[in-house]
């Protein structure tokens, strides 16, 4: 076991001595939040000068609760467990069922807008390219569009999100996302302007590959037409495939190869939830050995080595793990069994983690900002400011 002034690190080497090296951070859950609070002093000034470009999706989300028992016109008991809901659906097979859904919230949605909105709440100047409404911005995005520079290239998709205490079901209507392609993007913003935006950015985030049919072609266009013209130090680029289970292994493999090519021009961060990490591992021939923190941490390290990218981060619900050139580690999350909202929790984690990287934080500190951002969001149903996050970290 090695130690330094901030951490105790347990370093283990996977079978065969390959890239299964990970560092299990043993820092107490009090020390790391306090350290991050100190790192956040003066963060707003730095973030205000750190431009961020995000794209390319956009959804209108309706958050729904499922009625278990209706007691009166104004009162009902919510169905809180996905397994119970699944049993109810199964019991109706061959018959029929009447299921009541109660809208709880109408909000901006999509991996990109939620992530961008969260980074904007921390003070980063945001440019957003995506499907927020065309020819007019959909009203649900008006507040976001007032704070960010927006290039809307298509109508948004629509998501009905059934939320339970132990998960959520997302029902998407994605027809308009077919309009998100390189040719159509150039109808709204020139290649020269895209190059300028990327050149000035500290971070570029390209998310929701799964639901955007032409995203791989967009990756290829960026790699051939924009990236080679970038000058100066490598910028950060973040990718979130967003539940690729419905895409073929061949499609996923192609996307991963394209993402790996970005490393030539950027510092690549690949963000995954636990299920996505298992899917990606399967395509790469890397089995996830289990869901314990040290196993997920080792999985992140193996995926990073296989793809040869800068950083891989995996965020299950109870903790988050990541690997970069300095090693690999995990941080426990402030889990709550009674969230106000869960749709967008992963995007808030991604925003917080990327804020940490933009601020120059190390891996553990970035993970702490990620789980702190997500933890605040699911409890309060809003994105935290820097001061909100500092106050929340004090409670951990």
Q: Is it the case that residue 27 has pLDDT exceeding 60?
A: no
- Residue 207: CB atoms within 10 Å: 28
64-76 mean pLDDT = 96
Domain assignment present for 142: yes
pLDDT tens, position by position, 340-369: 999 999 999 999 999 999 999 999 999 999
The values of phi and psi at residue 153, to 5°, are -110, -5
Residue with tokens 């065969």: 16
The yes-or-no verdict on residue 51 having pLDDT over 90 is: yes
Average pLDDT over residues 379-385: 97
3-state secondary structure of 165: coil
Average pLDDT for 161-186 = 95
Domain count, the chain: 1
Q: What is the 3-state secondary structure (H, E, C) of 14-48?
A: CHHHCCCCEEEECCCCCHHHHHHHHHCCCHHHHHH
More confidently predicted of 27 and 48: 48
pLDDT of residue 23: 44
Over 90: is that where the pLDDT of 116 sits? yes
pLDDT at position 380 over 90: yes
Residue 263 to residue 255: CA distance in whole angstroms? 13
pLDDT at residue 86 in the model: 97
Q: Are 235 and 201 in contact (CB under 8 A)?
A: yes
Q: Is the pLDDT of residue 130 over 70?
A: yes
**The pLDDT value given to residue 28:** 55
The answer as to whether 76 is a domain residue is: no
Helix (H) and strand (E) counts in the chain: 14, 17
CA distances from 215 to 177, 179, 260 (A): 10, 11, 15
**What residues are paired with 149 via a beta bridge?**
127
- Structural domain that includes position 156: 29-60+106-394
pLDDT band, very low/low/confident/very high, at 22 (cuts 50, 70, 90): very low
Q: How many residues make up the chain in this entry?
A: 396
Structural domain contains residue 1? no
pLDDT of residue 21: 41
Q: How much of the chain, in percent, has pLDDT values that exceed 90?
A: 91
- Rounded CA-CA distance 120/29 in Å is 27
pLDDT confidence bin for 248, thresholds 50/70/90: very high
Distance (Å, whole) CA 124 – CA 116: 9
Using DSSP's 3-state secondary structure scheme, residue 368 falls into: helix
How far apart, in whole angstroms, are the C-alpha atoms of residue 307 and residue 285? 12
Contact indicator for 373, 351 with CB cutoff of 8 Å:
yes
Examine residue 15 and state whether it is found in any structural domain, yes or no.
no
Mention every residue, 6+ apart, whose C-beta is less than 8 A from residue 19. Answer: 301, 302, 304, 305, 306
Q: Domain for residue 24, yes or no? A: no
> Residue 22: inside a domain, yes or no?
no
Name the token pair of 307.
């793809």
Spatial contact of 151 and 129, defined as CB atoms under 8 Å apart:
yes
Q: For residue 263, with 0-12 CB atoms within 10 Å meaning exposed, 13-18 middle and 19 or more buried, which class applies?
A: middle
Output 264 or 4, whichever has higher pLDDT. Answer: 264
Burial class (CB in 10 A: 0-12, 13-18, 19+), 60: buried
Average pLDDT, the chain: 92
Instruction: Compute the C-alpha angle 306/205/233, nearest 5°.
Output: 75
Q: Are 207 and 242 in contact (CB under 8 A)?
A: yes
**Position 12 pLDDT exceeds 50:** no
At residue 223, the pLDDT reads: 98
Tell me if residue 49 falls in helix, strand or coil.
coil
Q: Using an 8 Å Cβ cutoff, are 160 and 188 in contact?
A: no
Q: Is the pLDDT of residue 26 over 80?
A: no
Q: Count of CB atoms within 10 A of residue 15's CB?
A: 6
Confidence class for position 309, pLDDT limits 50, 70, 90? very high
72 occurs within a structural domain: no
The per-residue pLDDT for 340 is 93
CATH of the domain at 274: 3.40.1190.20
Q: Give the integer Cα–Cα distance in Å for 335 and 382.
A: 17
Does any domain span residue 167? yes
Q: Which residue has the tokens 């077919």?
A: 178
Mean pLDDT, range 182-202, rounded to an integer = 98
Res 10: pLDDT: 38
pLDDT of residue 29: 55
């Amino acid at each position: 076991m090695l130690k330094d002034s901030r951490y105790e690190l347990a370093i283990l080497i996977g079978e065969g001595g390959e890239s299964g090296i990970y560092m299990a951070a043993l820092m107490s859950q009090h020390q790391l939040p306090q350290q991050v609070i100190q790192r956040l002093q003066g963060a707003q000034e730095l973030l205000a000068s750190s431009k961020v470009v995000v794209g390319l999706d956009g959804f209108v989300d309706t958050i729904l609760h499922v009625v278990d028992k209706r007691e009166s016109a104004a009162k009902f008991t919510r169905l809180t467990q996905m397994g119970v809901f699944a049993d109810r659906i199964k019991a109706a097979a061959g018959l029929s069922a009447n299921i009541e859904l109660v809208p709880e919230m109408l909000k901006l949605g999509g991996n990109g807008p939620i992530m961008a909105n969260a980074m904007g709440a921390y003070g980063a100047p945001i440019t957003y390219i995506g499907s927020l409404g065309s020819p007019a911005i959909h009203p649900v995005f008006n507040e976001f569009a007032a704070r960010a520079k927006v290039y809307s290239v298509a109508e948004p998709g629509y998501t009905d999100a059934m939320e339970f205490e132990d998960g959520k079901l997302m029902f998407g209507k994605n027809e308009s996302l077919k309009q998100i392609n390189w040719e159509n993007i150039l109808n709204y913003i020139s290649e020269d302007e895209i190059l300028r935006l990327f050149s000035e950015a500290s971070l570029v985030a390209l998310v929701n590959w799964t639901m955007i049919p032409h995203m791989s072609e967009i990756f290829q266009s960026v790699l051939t037409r924009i990236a080679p013209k970038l000058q100066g130090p490598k910028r950060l680029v973040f990718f979130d495939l967003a539940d690729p289970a419905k895409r073929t292994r061949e499609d996923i493999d192609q996307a991963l190869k394209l993402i790996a090519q970005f490393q030539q021009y950027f510092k690549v961060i690949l963000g995954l939830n636990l299920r996505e990490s298992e899917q990606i591992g399967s395509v790469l021939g890397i089995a996830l050995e289990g869901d314990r923190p040290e196993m997920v941490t080792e999985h992140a390290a193996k995926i990073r080595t296989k793809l040869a990218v800068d950083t891989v981060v995996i965020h299950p619900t109870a903790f988050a793990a990541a690997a970069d050139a300095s090693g690999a580690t995990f941080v426990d999350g402030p889990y709550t069994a009674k969230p106000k909202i869960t749709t967008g929790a992963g995007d808030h984690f991604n925003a917080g983690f990327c804020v940490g990287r933009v601020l120059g934080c190390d891996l553990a500190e970035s993970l702490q900002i990620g789980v702190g951002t997500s933890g605040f969001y699911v409890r309060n149903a809003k994105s935290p400011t820097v001061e909100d996050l500092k106050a929340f970290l004090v409670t951990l």
